Structure 1
Amino acid sequence: MKFSAPWSHQNKLFKHAATLLTLSSLSFATIAAPLDKSKIQFIGPLAEDMQLKPFQTPHGNAIINNLLPQLQADSDSFSVFGKKQNWQPFNKINALTLGGLQALKFNIETTRFTQGTLTLKGIEQGQLFINGELQTGDKNSYKLALNNSTHSILIVAQQVANWHDVMLDFAPKSDVDKITLSASQTKRLSAKQLFDAPTISQLSLAPNAKQYVTTTRTYSDKTQNQANTVTVLKDSDNQTLYRFEAGQPSNIIWSPDNQYLVYLLNGELKQLSRKNFSIKTLANDLEGANGFTFYNDTSLLFSWSKSPENTNSLTKHYKGLQDRWSYARTTSQIYMLDTKSGLTKALSQGPLSYSLEDSNSNRGKILMSRPVMAMQASTHPETELAELDLKSNKLSSLGKFKTFNLAKYANKDIYVVAGPDFKNGAGRALPKAMLANNYDGQLYLLTEGGKNVKALSKQFDSAIGQLQVLENGDALIKVTEQDTQPLYLFDLSKQRFKKLNTGLDIVEQFSYSHDRNTEVLLRGTNALAPQQLKRLNVSKNKTDLIWDSKPSSYANTRLPTLEEFNFKNKHGVEITGRVYIPSNLDKTKKHPALVYYYGGTSPVTRGFTGRYPFNLWAENGYVVYVVQPTGATGFGQKFSAQHVNAWGDYTADDIIEGTQAFLKKYNYVDSEKIGNLGASYGGFMTMLLATKTDIFSASIAHAGISNITSYWGEGWWGYLYSGEASKNSFPWNNPELYSQHSPVFHADKVTTPMLLLHGDSDTNVPVGESLTMYTALKLLNKDVELIEYKGADHQIFARDKRFDWWNTMLAYFDKKLKDEPQWWDSMYKND
């Protein structure tokens, strides 16, 4: 293809994780093809009376960078110095020279990792941008490596002697490296969109529902791992009243009298008047303070933690099991702050940490919890629920519980969220012989000062999560319901759950008003729809859309389609799942597929994106099957209880049976090109499946458990999690469970190629779990790779690491399932 210009740029090698746009020192043979100029869009001249071009000024880069957003936008036109400029096909341009600036843009479509050299001619001064990033090359040549995606090309021309001479050549590295030019604005979903697009990270609705606060977070190439955050105060008509410019507030709360907004900023507690926007500092020196909430109009409650001084000792004497946590000796107490005087007083004291559960100013009481002991040698540590009478300073115990999660006042009584075994099994809905899974949250009502308990959710299959209590005692409850996280209203008087019509698969966060006509501000996503901000009227059960990220960040973006796929396992139990099908898939051909699962005690939810981007995988050419095997919460207590003492028994069978049923239905999937992957417990499942089946052609385990015993003893929360997953079972009384269910003990049975991924600073599942499996498979001469992410814990959060991690997984599957090793080799061959 022809199209280009000699630009003098310094030759530079770089690799960007998001687009894998790399410059290398490879040599290429030029293969030219005629350029179809109709697929290139042209705009200009922009500011044709410009006396000095940007490159002739000391601020040229800044001038071009500030123009980029308009040039990259999907709009057909924009205005420059009062003159409307329109994009038009390049083949309709007939000019030798033009004043000001001009620009060309088009898309390059690739169907695989593609390498080659892009050569430009005819533009004497200009810049080339691919996916928004400025390229550098050697004179007029740019050596590229493009992943399987749609790549946006923008050329800003500052000086052209003759537009008839402008040409472009693409010389592929090999016969498999091909690109297709497209003038269409439609593009495939990209990793950058998923990570960088604006999302609301914080929201709060005023008690009278007349104002609300949101914090929006975005990322960009310019700021890299640093998020751009903007916090605004808006009215009920969604008009901005105040914008936080000096910094970004946190812990945003409203005074009950609707007069003030209080927040933390740079270690100071600030009070913003809702009437005139004046600001008052309420307190300073608040290091370690968090969880601020109003007790009444003029008093705040909060937790204040204190860490022990660093003694620089050569040794550490462990005081108990929890002492392996870096924060175990940090204590936290509850304090009250008077907003008028600034005086703070302590409400709790002692060696034990207290947590604020709730408060009720009408009753003059505070609900709090504390561990029974600082260092408890138990797989189910006890929590004591206590009530403080502020008038008498009397602290009364309401009970000691082993499966406690949270508590809230409900009129004269107390809501509690805890496992089925709470209060001697008050919430169990199981056969006597079955052990409950206490990660399956249940709702209770404590009455008569904690003496009596009533189970409210025994016949409600959803797992109870976040809970907020309304003025009349009813509760707004976020639950896990199969693979969704909806919002329910629990009617206290009728003892009934009512599902609220949010229109979202996943409610990520909600905030509610305190008036009679309760309104809820909430954010969330659907499986194929990115984040939305909505306002819900509870009495009408009607939702209004306030903000949608799709038009601004995902316009003209191709997304896969979604199909529900359920099957009955060999025990007659329905196992649910969903299938993401790539857009424009040719179903007359065979295609590779990926099978994803967790297998631990939670389902794989239907969020639009996250650590594992199913939509992105599908748009890279994989049919993606997400299966919800036995053991997860949200499907009823009996379903979740089968996670206990199983360690993959039911889960592995469900995944294998599900994959077989999936292949039977989706006959356009190539049964010889099936990959599987999971993380944490899902990583354990990946390793375990490799010892049980050869149905998969390539496997990835991220932060997986290879030896249950070492995870139980070394993972920060290993013994606590095992308190449910291995309930009443220990290496000394059930060695068969700990050994024979550990994948490394069956490593000799593995035949599937495997990639192990792990953060080298993982405290949850230590990196030794992958090292152990890697050692075994290497000694057995198996096909295994191990990639460690330096400084990463159990999850990969940082933008640069996230892009590299996503690319690593896709590159590995491309190599193993598509017979395309080039991407993987470009990343790791020369390490």
Structure 2
Amino acid sequence: MKLRTAVTLLFTAVSAQLSASPLDESKIQFLGPIAGESTIKPADTAHRDAIIENLLPSLQQDAKQVTLFNNESKWQALNKVSQLTIPGLQALKFNFTTERFVSGKLKLEGIEKAKIFLNGEPVSGVKEVQLDVVKGDHQILVIAEQVNDWNKVDLSFEGEAAHDVITLTEKQTKALSAKQLFDAPTVSAISLAPNGEYYISTVRHYDDEKGNSAITETALYNEDGDMLYSFDGMSANSFAWRDDSSKLTYLKDNKAYVLDVKTFKRTQVATKLNGANSIEFFDNETLIFAWTNSGKEEGKLTKHYQGLEDRWSYARTQSQIFLLDIKSGLLNPVTVGTQSHSLADFDAQANTVLATRNKQDYAQPPHMLTELIEIDLSNNQQSVIGQYRTFSGAQYTKNGIYVTAGPDFAEGAGRNLPEGMLANNYDGQLYWIDRKGHNVKALSKNFDPAIGSFTVLNNGDVVLKATDQDRQQLFFFDESKSTFKRLNTGLDVVANYSVSSERNPEILFTGTTASTPQQLKTMSTSDKRAETLWDSTNIAYQNAEIANLEEFNFTNTEGVEIKGRVYLPHDLDKAKKYPALVYYYGGTSPVTRGFTGRYPFNLWAAKGYVVYVLQPTGATGFGQKFSAEHVNAWGEHTANDIIMGTKEFVKAYPFVDDKRLGNLGASYGGFMTMLLTTKTDLFSASISHAGISNITSYWGQGWWGYLYSGEASKGSFPWNNPTLYSQHSPVFNADKVTTPLLLIHGDADTNVPPGESHNMYTALKILGQDVELVEYKGADHQIFARDKRFHWWNTMLAYFDKHLKQEPQWWEHLYGK
């Protein structure tokens, strides 16, 4: 092959002046012939697309060679190719990096027939293809079917503007991408057998072919990790174990089944169970489950509300508890009536069931009442253990019941606050009560983490998950000593866990750290460290460039330490100035240290932003006094912390450009973003997702409005505290806004109705301020669908690129000039 002068595309300022440049052939890899000496090409068959696309996974890998029909073919540099013609298929591949959003045309001369892929997705064209790529690392793969003369093959790129530059690279590491973070396999559900010898796990991932539909694989494993049985279309959390671990029960297609774990014999034990859920073994011969029946509307023209709960779509759905005899299929109702009942726990030896029901009672915040009842199955008698304004869950233990609820449970039994402060009942506490509800012990009064889910062990000890500052941790509660011990999981955020019932119980759990992807681990309550069973790093994040993480805390004006963390871009150059993003929630929960999620901090750092995440006053997990500051504040303390924290952050990180700061938050964090625009001009651009602009309208119209306000505005209403409802509402202070603001909302949001963003958009438009509003069609409070998620992530980053990097092209590509 004749050699051409190889010019690395636009490597220098001089080459950036050129309108088009050839690509460096030494950095373009060539593979061929594919499929040996065969002259039959995919285009000669009826299956061209399938043949080529099935090759993609093998050809996309960074391996130096590919095994094809037991023959090893090696990639080589394109400038080493000497043949004029080559039979069969050939492949060209190169990696390139971009420092910003780039638009231009990739031109291929001398290739008559081919399919071209950008990052695994097909792009149209052969002689010329349009490339619109974001900052990061990318791959072009060309599968050539017809090349008449390889001497005449040329690849070049022509950018639309001087800044549209791509740089061919042979580096071994890759910047994190949105697709990588969303599509990577994760263990979404787990279930550990009582004897610890088996477990079920569900692994979920996404790809281009299935799009928004998750691909799931659920299987039964032994303790050595050997797969024993697979379940089609099921999730691990749909199964329940018999106490002796010999059998499983589950519901599928409105039928109840029992599966023998040794023989894998499946027995159908009941049918026509439409609406049944949460099935379990009550004892070896009996199953227990909840059975729901949707409530009927009274007519097509009107809906006559029966209470505040009618804003919830499921408010009229009735749920009752049933027993199912495995041998005969006989169904026996445990609860009946007009009130729904939820199963909390059961005690087969005592022949009792623990259940809850919610009475319609708005007398006191948070304007609902939970009854905890016990049902004696021997005579079907119900006894009310107690009525509670704050309540999360209950489980039997020896001689009593464990309950999780807020500090105000049982007339404030769990309160640990200065006189006069109102408790934040989202700050979960653990209690013990006797089975009559007369005696109450507050077990976590001096335990700062906020308790969530829990599992009671046979001896009365408890394994529980709690919010510990910005971490989700597992703890062990020793009943005999009444002490809490944090288990050394090695993770920052434990997502799911399942516990065996052995003498030394095993715990199976999943989670991440702020800087490492998901793992599946196991440990016993007595272990000093956990054992890793599965790690997504080796599957989806090999050679990934991950941001460096630093802790950054400061002391606010009240003398309270405010925790935070900073994500630094890979290969940070401290001699340069970087834009920064400040993220917060500000509601009752801290921003946990998950590796990815709806707001992917590691991705933002990969796009060239320093990212500061802080935990302002009012969050749970830092002690009751800290969380109680949330009550009746509506952003007052939170805003001060965010403003002060941002200023301290900029001082501590001199490579951050204080003229290029962006801030964003969602839900209550969206409210905080809007509120901050009325209080400070510290930020150069702000984004509010699903934020609240008018506290009154959210209280009256939001899905959880009146319940959430029952804590956040405890005892305060528009008629007795109008100052709180108006002057803390951003829309009432819209005339103070000078910061460019992007409002994002799902047009089907029931939690925070889209009108909350429309309020602010209308005000700022009338005031002539720089404001944008983007609604996602069919989206609720969160953006879940894969296509919408990618577009949403792009929208936020493109907006910040426009305002903080003075690079409007990405935004204009999405929304026009």
Q: Could you state the TM-score of these two structures normalised by the residue count of structure 1?
A: 0.95
Among all aligned residue pairs of Structure 1 and Structure 2, give the percentage whose two residues are the same amino acid. Answer: 58
* CA displacement at 1:78 relative to structure 2: 2.8
Q: Give the superposition deviation at 1:587.
A: 1.1
Contact 1:255 1:296 in 2 (8 A): yes
SS at match of 2:454: strand
Q: Are residues 1:86 and 2:74 paired? A: yes
Report the alpha carbon displacement of residue 444 of structure 1 after superposing the two structures with TM.
Answer: 0.4
Cα shift at 1:309:
3.0
Residue aligning to 1:813: 800
State the partner residue of 2:91: 103
CA contact (8 A) 2:465 2:475 kept: yes
**Conserved 8 A contact 1:759-1:790:** yes
Q: Check conservation: 2:553, 2:561, Cα contact below 8 A.
A: yes
Q: Deviations over 1:416-454 (max 9, x none)?
A: 000001111100000121000000000000025210000
Flag the 1:448–1:257 CA change in 2: closer, same or farther, 3 A: closer
Distance between the aligned counterparts of 1:262 and 1:587, measured in 2? 58
Is 1:512–1:519's contact at 8 Å kept on the other side of the alignment? yes
Q: What do the CA deviations read for 1:499-529 (whole angstroms, capped 9, x no partner)?
A: 1111111100011111212111111111011
Q: Which amino acid aligns with 2:761?
A: Y
- Summarize the Cα distance change of 1:458–1:83 in structure 2 as closer, same or farther, 3 Å threshold: same
Aligned counterpart for 1:74 among listed residues 62, 72, 76: 62
Check if 1:196 corresponds to 2:183.
Answer: yes
Cα distance, 1:722 vs structure 2 = 0.5
Q: Distance in 2 between matches of 1:226 and 1:30?
A: 44
Say if 1:161 and 1:758 are closer, same or farther in 2 by CA, change over 3 A: same
- For the pair 1:778 / 2:765, whether they are aligned, the reply is yes
329-338 vs 807-816, which moves further: 329-338
The whole-number CA distance in structure 1 between the counterparts of 2:298 and 2:435 is 47
Residue-by-residue CA offset, 1:156-192 (whole Å, 9 max, x unaligned): 1223222232211111101111110112342110000
Deviation at 1:698, TM superposition (A): 0.2
Offset, 1:378 = 5.5
RMSD: 1.8
Alignment of 1:752-791 (within 5 A): 752-791=739-778
1:642 aligns with 2:629: yes
Pairwise CA distance, 1:573: 0.5
Show CA shifts across 1:277-313 (max 9, x none). 1212222222221111221112111111111234542
Q: CA deviation at 1:373?
A: 3.3
Q: Corresponding residue for 2:603?
A: 616
Cα distance in 1 for partners of 2:363, 2:178 equals 44
Q: Distance in 1 between matches of 2:528 and 2:343?
A: 31
> Is the 8 Å Cα contact of residues 3 and 119 (structure 1) preserved in structure 2?
no
User: Which amino acid is the alignment partner of residue 187 of structure 2?
Assistant: I
609-618 or 323-332, which moves further after superposition?
Answer: 323-332
Letter in 2 for 1:702: H
In structure 1, give the amino acid aligned to 2:314: Y
Q: 2:109 — aligned with what?
A: 121
Write the distance in 2 (CA, Å) between the matches of 1:758 and 1:167: 46
Alignment correspondent of 2:13: none
Distance 1:123 1:151, change over 3 A: same
Deviation of 1:248 (Å): 5.9
Q: CA deviation at 1:243?
A: 1.6
Equivalent of 2:50 in 28, 41, 62: 62
Tell me what 2:132 maps to: 145
Kindly indicate whether the alpha-carbon contact (under 8 Å) linking 2:660 and 2:804 is maintained by their aligned counterparts in 1: yes
**Quick one: distance in 2 between partners of 1:204 and 1:339?**
22
Cα distance change, pair 206–135 in 1 and its aligned pair in 2 (3 A):
same
> How many Å apart are 1:268 and its aligned residue?
2.3
Tell me, yes or no, if the aligned pair for 1:595 and 1:676 is still in contact at 8 Å.
Answer: yes
Whether the aligned pair in 2 keeps the contact of 1:189 and 1:559 (CA below 8 Å) is yes
The answer to whether structure 1 residue 382 and structure 2 residue 391 are counterparts is: no
> CA separation in 1, counterparts of 2:364 and 2:647?
44
1:234 aligns with 221
Q: Kindly state the Cα deviation for residue 324 of structure 1 after the two structures are TM-superposed.
A: 1.6
Instruction: Decide whether the 8 Å contact of 1:3 with 1:168 is kept in 2.
Output: no
CA distance in 2, matches of 1:542, 1:248: 28
Q: Using a 3 Å threshold, how does the CA distance of structure 1 residues 776 and 210 change in structure 2: closer, same or farther?
A: same
2:310 corresponding residue in structure 1: 323
Per-residue Cα deviation, 1:640-679 (whole angstroms, up to 9, x for no partner) = 0000000111000000000000000000000000000000
Matching residue of 2:567: 580
User: Could you say which residue in structure 1 is the equivalent of 2:239?
Assistant: 252
2:419 corresponds in structure 1 to 432
Consecutive unaligned residues of structure 1, counting only runs of 5 or more, are 5-28
Q: TM-score of the superposition, structure 2-length normalised?
A: 0.96
Deviation, structure 1 residue 829: 1.4
CA distance in structure 2 between the aligned counterparts of 1:101 and 1:517, rounded to whole angstroms: 59
The aligned runs of 1:332-347 (5 Å cut-off) are: 332-347=319-334
Shift of 1:33: 2.4
Number of residue equivalences: 805
**Can you list the C-alpha shifts for 1:714-739, whole angstroms capped at 9, x where unaligned?**
10211110111101000010000000
Aligned to 1:529, the other structure's residue is in SS state coil
Task: State the alpha-carbon separation in 1 of the partners of residues 315 and 494 from structure 2.
Answer: 32
Give the Cα separation in 2 of the matches to 1:115 and 1:216: 37
Distance across 1 between alignment mates of 2:646 and 2:178: 27
Partner of 2:769, secondary structure, is coil
Q: 1:247 to 1:695 in 2, by over 3 A?
A: closer
| 8 Å contact from structure 1 (residues 352, 373) kept in 2 | no
Q: Distance in 2 between matches of 1:743 and 1:132?
A: 44
Report the more deviating stretch, 546-555 or 78-87. Answer: 78-87
Which residue number in structure 1 is paired with residue 695 of structure 2? Answer: 708
Report if aligned partners of 1:387, 1:397 keep a CA contact under 8 Å in 2. yes
Structure-2 change in CA distance of 1:262 and 1:73 (3 Å)? farther
Match of 2:480 in 1: 493
SS at match of 1:356: strand
Q: Would the aligned equivalents of 2:193 and 2:245 in 1 still touch at CA under 8 Å?
A: yes
Matched residue SS, 1:776: helix
